[in-house]
Amino acid sequence: MKYIKETSKPVEQAVADLQAAVLRHKFGVLHIHNLQETLEKKGVDFLNACQILEICNPQTAKDVLVMDMDLNMALPCRVSVYSENNMTKIGMIRPTAMLGLLSDAPKMAKIAKEVENAIIAMIEEAV
């Protein structure tokens, strides 16, 4: 269900490289959540760097929502870049697994696979 790759890059560089790959694949970054920073602002010490990128291909998102508006709860796709055990990791929940739980439409499975392949390529480019 998860797809995770390790990289020797620091989190900040991996995020920058992932953002560039996202654009090359005609997706966009809607928002980046800096989890460590947000928790620290709330008075919670959290040692692991963790940035979560919300990414989306607008046309694909529209296609999904036209088929099943309820799937807005699963969009946009999230890709996390985080530190764990002195390593940087880039990972996601596979769209095929998530959307497979939410829809049994064959066309949705095809879209999920296309999105998953694109995001895997982005992650591979960023490691």
Residue 100 in this model has a pLDDT that exceeds 90: no
Range of the domain at 73: 2-126
Query: What's the pLDDT at 69?
Result: 94
Q: What 3-state class would DSSP assign to 66?
A: helix
C-alpha of 86 from chain center: 21
For the ranges 9-23, 61-75, 91-105, the maximum mean pLDDT occurs at 9-23
Query: What's the pLDDT at 119?
Result: 98
Radius of gyration of the chain (CA): 15
Mean pLDDT of 94-121: 94
Residue with tokens 């036209």: 66
At residue 70 the predicted structure's pLDDT band, cuts being 50, 70 and 90, is very high
- Please give the order of strands across the beta sheet that includes 2-7: 2-7, 87-93, 77-84, 50-56, 28-34
Residue pLDDT, tens place only, 45-65: 999 999 999 999 999 999 999
Quote the pTM value.
0.93
Number of domain units in the chain: 1
Residue pLDDT, tens place only, 5-39: 999 999 999 999 999 999 999 999 999 999 999 99
- Residue whose C-alpha is closest to residue 74's, from 91, 92, 88: 92
Question: CATH no. for residue 117?
Answer: 3.30.310.70
Query: What's the pLDDT at 104?
Result: 87
